[in-house]
C-alpha cells in the first residue's frame, strides 16, 4: 500500500496511510495572546431591535480573539430593565450564571415574561478554557413592541374622501395635532397601514424605511414598524401626518391587471406612546380627530406604473402645527382588527445607494436618454428649476433596442413612467413615493432647458440586508458575473424575493427563490428576509398541502389555484433546509416543518400508489436551452421526471429535518418514502446502463444531485452528463437544473468541465450576457440574441436572478467555502477549494453568525497558497488539493506542530487538515494549471 511521509519536527518521520487516515498532532496551546472579547450582540438576527414580538428572543454574539484555536467553553448572559442596572449587575431580570456550553448563536431568552413596549438591556461574557471569564460585552438591548391586541388604543382610520378605485387614485394625506406637556423621555410610534404609508411628525419624515409596512399575506399577518420619535416631538403643540399609497394592497398586481386584491380602501393605524420624565404615559392614536384629503400632489402612484406628481398641489407645512386643515375631510373609523399584527422579521426596504448616470444620449428617435450605467431598481431623484406647470416625464427601460431607442416592450403592461410638474419657485428636488422602476435607461421629456447629468441621481432601493459575502477572482468576466448576480439580488430582494423588478409581475415566485436561496445567503444576510417570507408561505399554503406559485399568493382567487408545481412549491422544503444549513436556525425549521410534511403529503396523494408523479401541470425546467437545430435539438426534460425527482428529494430532506428536530419516527417514515420513490423513479426513468430520463443535462443534474440513482450507476450517469457537456460544449439547463449542474460535475470528477461551462462566452452560457454588456442576470440565456434581436417581449426580463444560482458553486467550489451539515451555521467550516479554469486567484469571504470566515487562494509560479479564516468558537476542516502533507507549509513553517493545527493527513492526492479558529496561510508546490 502506498504511503506518504509527513515531516514532523520533534517527532519521528511518520508513515501515513493513503486515504482517510489522519494523524493526531498535539494541540498547540492557545498561547498568551490577549483574551477573547465579546462583540456583535444580536437578538433575532438584529442589532438593538425595536418593536420585537418574539416572546423568547434568541441571542447571539461573536467572540473576538487574536489567538488561534479559541473555543467558548462557557457563557453568562445578564438581562436588566435599564442600562445602569445592567452595568451595576443589580436588579437583574435574568442571569444565566456560568453555563458550560459552546453555544454562542440562537440562545433563547428564558427569563420572566417580556412586557409590551419594554426595553431589555443585556450583556454577555464568555470563558474560553480557563477559569477567567472575558470582560463583559458592551451592553446591547432589544425592545418589545405591542404584544397584545389589547395594547392598541388607536383605531383604524380611513380617509373619508370620494375615490375612483377602478384606477390609481390620488394618494390620500392624513393629519392631526396634539399637545405635549412636560419633559418627554421616550416616545415611540407603532404604525401600519392598508396600502403603503409614509409617516411625518412636525414637518419631518419619520424613519428611513420605504414601502412600509412591507408586503405580507396581509389578511394573515400585517407588519407594524416601531419608530423612536423621542427627538421629533416638541413641547407644546405637535402635528402628525401620513401619506398613503396603493402599494401591493390595492394597486395593480400580477399580470392580469387586477387591482384591489386585498381590499379597496386604504387605512392607517398608528399609535404614539409618549413617556414623560414624571412617569406619565400618553397615547395619541389614529382616531376620529384626524383629517384627510386626496387633493395633494401625488395624483397617482402605483408600483408597476409609476407616479404622477403635481408639485403645485403640495400643502406646505401639512404635517406641522400651523397648517390649516379646515378644508380637509374627516376620517372613518374602521374595524380591521389588531390580532394579525406582527413585528417585521426581516429588514425594511431602504434607499441603499445612489448612482450617478454615466451618459446622456440622444436616440435615433430623438429622445433624450440618461444611461445609469447599471440596470438598477429604485427610481430617479430629479433636481430641476423651471417655470411652474412644466411637466417632466421620465420613462424607464432596461435596454435600448438595436437602433439605440428606448425598448419598453418587455415591460408588458407596466408603464414605469414618472411625471413631475414643477412648482416653479427655484430648485426643486423630487423623488417618487410608492413606486419603483427596474431600469438602466431613462427617457426624459419636457425638461426645462437642457438637461445635464447632475439633474438625475439613481436611488437604489432594496431590503436592507447586510452584505455578508465577497467573491473575487483573477478573471474580470467572472467578476462581472458575480457583480451581476449581486445586482440581481439587490433588485429582486424587495421585501419579498421577486422574479423581476420591471414588468407587470414582480411577484414572489417560489421556484426562483428556491434555486437562488443558497447563493443569496452567500452575498447577503437573508435570514430575516426569508424568515418573514416563509411565514407567508406557511399562511398561504392550502389545506391540501399544496403551495402557491407565488408568495404572497396573489395569483389565485379561487382558494386552490396557481399552486403545486414541482420545483416551485418545493421551496417550502428546500428553503427552510438551506437556512438551517447556513444559519443553524432550528426554530425556523421547526416552524416550517408542518408545511414541509403537508407538501410531501400533497405530492404523495397526487403521485398515488405507483409513486410516479405524472400528469399534473408544472413549469418544468423553465427556460432551458431550446432550439430547432437538428444536431442538438434543445434540452427538454419531461415534467413527470422532474416532478418525481423533486418528490423524492423533498421527502428525503423532510426526513433530515425530522432527524434534526428529534422526530425519529417521522424521519424513518420520510426516509422510507423517499427510498421507495427513488426505486420507482429508477424503474420509470433510468436504463440499466445509466441513461437517465431524456438524457438532458438537467435530467442528470437532478438525478445525481438528489441521489436518485444507485451507487453503482452514479459514475456512469455522470460520465454521460460529461459526455453531453463535452459534445455540445455549453450548458443547456433551465431554472431547475442550473443550480446543480456544476456541483454534480465537480462531485463526479469533472471540475474541469464545470470550469469550462463557467467560462464559456458564447450562448448558451453564464458569460454570454456578460460579453453583451449585461450588468444583471438575465431571465433567459439569450434575452438579447447573438444577432442583436430580443427574445420574446412577453417574457424577457434583464433582471431575473435564477441563473445566478451558479454563485453558490463559485463560493462553495471555486473558493471552497462551505458549512458542515452536521454542525450547521458554519459552526464547523469546510474549506476545500478546487482550483482550475486557468484562475490564478480566487477569494471569498463570508460574515457568518460566528464572525468572518474566508478562503482565498493564489496559484502563481507553481505555488499554491491558501489563506483561510476561521472565526473564534468554530473549527474547520481544510482540504488542500494536490498537496502532499510533508510539502505543506503553514505561515512559512511546517504543518505539524503549527499553532491551531490539530490533525493533518493525506486523503487521496489531497492533504486534509483540522484546525481551530484563526487565520492560516497554507502553501505548497503545485504545478500550474496552464
Strands (E) across 44-134 are located at 58-64, 74-80, 92-95, 99-100, 107-108, 119-127
Interacting residues of 616 by C-beta distance below 8 A, sequence separation 6+? 564, 606, 639, 643
Angle between helices 527-540 and 510-523 (to 10 degrees): 160
Interface with ligand BGC, residue 511, by CB under 6 A: yes
Task: Give the 3-state secondary structure of residue 435.
Answer: coil
Of the candidates 47, 79, 39, the residue with the CA atom closest to the CA atom of residue 528: 47
Interface with ligand BGC, residue 494, by CB under 6 A: no
CA atoms in the 13 A half-sphere facing the CB of 404: 12
Cβ closer to ligand BGC: 800 or 827?
Answer: 800
Q: Which region, judged by CB under 6 A, interacts with ligand BGC, from 68-76, 170-178, 462-470, 507-515?
A: 507-515
Task: Compute, in degrees rounded to 10, the torsion defined by CA atoms 155, 159, 160, 165.
Answer: -130
591 contacts 579 by C-beta, under 8 angstroms: no
Interface with ligand BGC, residue 398, by CB under 6 A: no
Helix-then-strand count for the chain, H and E: 15, 51
Burial 706-715 (b: 16+ CB within 10 A, else e): bebbeeebbe
Q: Which region, judged by CB under 6 A, interacts with ligand BGC, from 212-220, 337-345, 504-512, 769-777?
A: 504-512
Interface with ligand BGC, residue 583, by CB under 6 A: no
Exactly one of 44, 158, 246, 512 binds ligand BGC (CB under 6 A); that residue is 512
Cβ closer to ligand BGC: 315 or 622?
Answer: 622
Sign of CA dihedral 201, 204, 209, 212: positive
Task: Give the 3-state secondary structure of residue 764.
Answer: coil
Q: What's the min distance (Å) between Cβ of 513 and ligand BGC?
A: 9
Q: What's the min distance (Å) between Cβ of 778 and ligand BGC?
A: 12
Catalytic-residue membership of 505:
yes
Q: What's the min distance (Å) between Cβ of 564 and ligand BGC?
A: 13
Exactly one of 152, 619, 798, 811 binds ligand BGC (CB under 6 A); that residue is 619
Q: Which region, judged by CB under 6 A, interacts with ligand BGC, from 497-505, 603-611, 815-823, 859-867?
A: 497-505
Q: What's the min distance (Å) between Cβ of 89 and ligand BGC?
A: 54
Exactly one of 290, 509, 533, 700 binds ligand BGC (CB under 6 A); that residue is 509
Cβ closer to ligand BGC: 184 or 569?
Answer: 569
Cβ closer to ligand BGC: 503 or 730?
Answer: 503
- Show the DSSP H helices in 567-663 as ranges: 571-583, 586-607, 639-660
Q: What's the min distance (Å) between Cβ of 505 and ligand BGC?
A: 5
Interface with ligand BGC, residue 504, by CB under 6 A: no
677 contacts 651 by C-beta, under 8 angstroms: yes
Q: What's the min distance (Å) between Cβ of 166 and ligand BGC?
A: 26
Q: What's the min distance (Å) between Cβ of 255 and ligand BGC?
A: 7
Cβ closer to ligand BGC: 198 or 512?
Answer: 512
Cβ closer to ligand BGC: 61 or 568?
Answer: 568
Cβ closer to ligand BGC: 620 or 918?
Answer: 620
Exactly one of 151, 504, 505, 724 binds ligand BGC (CB under 6 A); that residue is 505
Considering 779, 822, 843, 930, which one is annotated as catalytic?
A: 779
Catalytic-residue membership of 409:
no
Cβ closer to ligand BGC: 799 or 869?
Answer: 799
DSSP letter string over 197-223?
Answer: EEEEETTEE-SSEESTT----TTT-EE
DSSP letter string over 330-364?
Answer: -EEEE---STTEE--SSPPEEEEEEE---EEEE-T
Interface with ligand BGC, residue 622, by CB under 6 A: yes
Contact letters for ligand BGC, residues 784-803 (x by CB under 6 A): -----------x----x---
439 contacts 416 by C-beta, under 8 angstroms: yes
Interface with ligand BGC, residue 500, by CB under 6 A: yes
Interacting residues of 311 by C-beta distance below 8 A, sequence separation 6+? 297, 420, 421, 422, 423, 428, 430
Q: Which region, judged by CB under 6 A, interacts with ligand BGC, from 188-196, 509-517, 627-635, 707-715?
A: 509-517
Considering 354, 505, 711, 822, which one is annotated as catalytic?
A: 505
Retrieve residue 10's grid coordinates: 520533534
**What is the total count of residues that contact ligand BGC (CB under 6 A)?**
10
Looking at beta carbons, which residue is closest to ligand BGC? Answer: 499
H or E segment to which residue 282 belongs: strand 281-285
Of the candidates 768, 799, 792, 788, the residue with the CA atom closest to the CA atom of residue 440: 799
What positions carry a catalytic annotation? Answer: 505, 779
- Residues of this chain that interact with ligand BGC (CB under 6 A) are 499-500, 505, 509, 511-512, 619, 622, 795, 800
Amino acid at each position: 500500500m502506498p504511503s506518504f511521509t509527513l515531516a514532523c519536527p520533534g517527532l519521528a518521520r511518520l508513515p501515513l496511510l493513503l486515504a482517510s487516515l489522519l494523524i493526531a498532532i498535539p494541540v498547540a496551546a492557545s498561547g498568551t495572546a490577549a483574551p477573547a472579547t465579546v462583540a456583535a450582540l444580536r437578538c433575532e438576527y438584529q442589532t438593538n431591535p425595536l418593536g420585537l414580538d418574539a416572546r423568547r428572543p434568541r441571542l447571539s454574539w461573536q467572540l473576538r480573539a487574536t489567538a488561534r484555536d479559541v473555543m467558548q467553553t462557557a457563557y453568562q448572559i445578564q438581562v436588566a430593565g435599564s442600562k445602569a442596572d445592567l452595568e451595576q449587575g443589580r436588579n437583574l431580570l435574568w442571569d444565566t450564571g456560568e453555563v458550560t456550553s459552546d453555544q454562542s448563536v440562537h440562545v433563547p431568552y428564558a427569563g420572566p415574561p417580556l412586557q409590551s413596549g419594554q426595553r431589555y438591556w443585556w450583556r454577555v461574557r464568555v470563558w474560553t478554557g480557563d477559569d477567567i471569564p472575558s470582560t463583559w460585552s458592551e451592553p446591547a438591548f432589544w425592545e418589545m413592541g405591542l404584544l397584545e391586541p389589547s395594547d392598541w388604543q388607536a383605531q383604524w382610520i380611513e380617509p373619508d374622501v370620494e375615490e375612483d378605485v377602478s384606477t390609481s387614485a390620488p394618494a390620500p394625506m392624513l393629519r392631526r395635532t396634539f399637545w405635549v406637556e412636560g419633559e418627554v423621555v421616550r416616545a415611540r410610534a407603532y404604525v401600519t397601514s392598508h396600502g403603503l404609508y409614509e409617516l411625518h411628525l412636525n414637518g419631518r419624515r419619520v424613519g428611513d424605511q420605504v414601502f412600509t409596512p412591507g408586503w405580507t399575506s396581509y389578511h394573515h399577518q400585517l407588519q407594524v414598524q416601531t419608530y423612536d420619535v423621542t427627538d421629533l416631538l416638541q413641547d407644546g403643540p405637535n402635528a402628525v401626518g401620513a401619506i398613503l399609497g396603493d402599494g401591493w394592497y390595492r394597486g395593480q398586481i400580477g399580470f392580469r391587471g387586477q387591482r384591489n386584491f386585498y381590499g379597496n380602501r386604504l387605512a392607517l393605524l398608528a399609535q404614539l406612546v409618549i413617556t414623560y420624565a414624571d412617569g406619565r404615559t400618553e397615547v395619541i392614536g389614529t382616531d376620529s380627530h384626524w383629517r384627510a384629503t386626496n387633493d395633494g400632489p401625488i395624483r397617482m402612484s402605483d408600483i408597476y406604473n409609476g407616479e404622477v406628481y403635481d408639485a403645485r398641489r403640495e400643502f406646505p407645512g401639512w404635517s406641522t402645527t400651523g397648517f390649516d386643515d379646515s378644508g380637509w375631510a374627516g376620517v372613518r373609523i374602521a374595524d380591521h382588527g389588531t390580532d394579525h399584527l406582527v413585528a417585521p422579521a426581516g429588514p425594511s426596504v431602504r434607499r441603499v445607494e445612489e448612482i450617478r448616470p454615466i451618459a446622456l444620449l440622444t436616440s435615433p428617435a430623438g429622445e433624450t436618454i440618461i444611461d445609469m450605467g447599471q440596470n438598477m431598481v429604485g427610481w430617479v431623484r430629479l433636481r430641476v428649476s423651471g417655470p411652474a406647470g412644466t411637466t417632466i416625464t421620465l420613462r424607464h427601460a432596461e435596454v435600448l433596442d438595436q437602433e439605440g431607442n428606448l425598448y419598453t416592450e418587455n415591460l408588458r403592461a407596466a408603464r414605469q413612467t414618472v411625471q413631475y410638474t414643477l412648482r416653479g419657485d427655484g430648485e426643486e428636488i423630487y423623488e417618487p413615493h410608492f413606486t419603483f422602476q427596474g431600469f438602466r435607461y431613462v427617457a426624459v421629456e419636457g425638461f426645462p432647458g437642457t438637461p445635464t447629468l447632475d439633474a438625475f441621481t439613481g436611488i437604489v432601493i432594496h431590503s436592507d440586508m447586510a452584505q455578508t459575502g465577497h467573491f473575487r477572482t483573477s478573471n474580470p468576466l467572472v467578476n462581472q458575473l458575480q457583480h451581476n448576480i449581486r445586482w440581481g439580488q439587490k433588485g429582486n430582494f424587495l421585501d419579498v424575493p421577486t422574479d423581476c423588478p420591471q414588468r407587470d409581475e414582480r411577484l414572489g415566485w417560489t421556484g426562483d427563490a428556491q434555486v437562488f436561496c443558497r447563493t443569496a445567503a452567500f452575498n447577503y444576510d437573508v435570514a430575516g428576509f426569508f424568515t418573514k417570507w416563509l411565514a407567508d408561505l406557511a399562511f398561504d399554503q392550502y389545506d391540501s398541502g399544496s403551495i402557491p406559485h407565488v408568495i404572497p399568493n396573489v395569483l389565485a382567487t379561487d382558494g386552490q389555484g396557481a399552486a403545486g408545481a414541482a420545483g416551485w412549491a418545493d421551496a417550502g422544503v428546500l428553503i427552510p433546509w438551506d437556512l438551517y444549513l447556513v444559519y443553524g436556525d432550528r426554530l425556523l425549521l421547526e416552524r416550517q416543518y408542518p408545511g414541509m410534511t403537508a407538501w410531501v403529503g400533497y405530492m404523495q396523494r397526487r403521485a398515488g400508489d405507483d409513486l410516479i408523479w405524472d400528469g399534473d401541470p408544472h413549469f418544468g425546467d423553465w427556460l432551458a436551452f431550446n432550439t430547432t437545430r437538428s444536431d442538438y435539438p434543445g434540452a427538454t426534460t419531461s415534467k413527470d421526471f422532474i416532478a418525481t425527482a423533486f418528490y423524492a428529494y423533498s421527502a428525503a430532506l423532510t426526513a433530515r429535518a425530522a432527524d434534526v428536530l428529534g422526530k425519529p419516527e417521522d424521519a424513518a417514515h420520510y426516509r422510507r418514502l423517499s427510498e421507495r420513490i427513488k426505486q420507482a423513479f429508477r424503474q420509470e426513468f433510468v436504463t440499466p446502463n445509466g441513461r437517465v430520463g431524456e438524457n438532458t443535462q438537467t435530467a442528470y443534474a437532478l438525478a445525481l444531485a438528489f441521489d436518485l440513482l444507485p451507487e453503482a450507476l452514479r459514475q456512469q450517469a455522470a460520465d454521460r452528463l460529461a459526455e453531453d457537456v463535452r459534445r455540445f460544449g455549453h450548458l443547456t439547463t433551465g431554472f431547475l437544473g442550473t443550480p446543480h449542474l456544476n456541483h454534480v460535475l465537480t462531485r463526479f470528477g469533472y471540475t474541469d468541465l464545470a470550469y469550462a461551462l463557467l467560462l464559456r462566452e458564447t450562448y448558451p452560457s453564464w458569460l454570454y450576457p456578460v460579453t453583451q454588456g449585461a450588468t444583471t442576470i438575465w431571465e433567459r440565456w439569450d434575452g438579447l440574441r447573438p444577432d442583436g434581436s430580443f427574445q420574446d417581449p412577453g417574457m424577457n426580463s434583464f433582471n431575473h436572478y435564477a441563473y445566478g444560482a451558479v454563485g453558490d458553486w463559485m463560493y462553495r467550489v471555486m473558493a471552497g467555502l462551505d458549512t458542515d451539515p452536521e454542525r450547521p451555521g458554519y459552526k464547523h467550516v469546510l474549506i476545500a477549494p478546487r482550483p482550475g479554469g486557468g484562475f490564478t486567484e480566487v477569494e471569498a469571504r463570508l460574515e457568518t453568525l460566528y464572525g468572518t470566515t474566508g478562503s482565498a487562494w493564489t496559484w502563481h509560479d507553481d505555488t499554491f497558497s491558501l489563506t483561510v479564516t476561521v472565526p473564534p468558537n468554530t473549527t474547520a476542516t481544510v482540504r488542500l488539493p494536490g498537496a502532499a502533507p510533508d510539502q505543506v507549509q503553514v505561515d512559512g513553517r511546517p504543518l505539524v506542530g503549527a499553532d491551531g493545527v490539530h490533525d493533518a493527513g493525506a486523503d487521496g492526492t489531497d492533504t486534509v487538515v483540522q484546525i481551530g479558529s484563526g487565520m492560516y496561510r497554507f502553501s505548497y508546490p503545485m504545478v500550474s494549471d496552464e
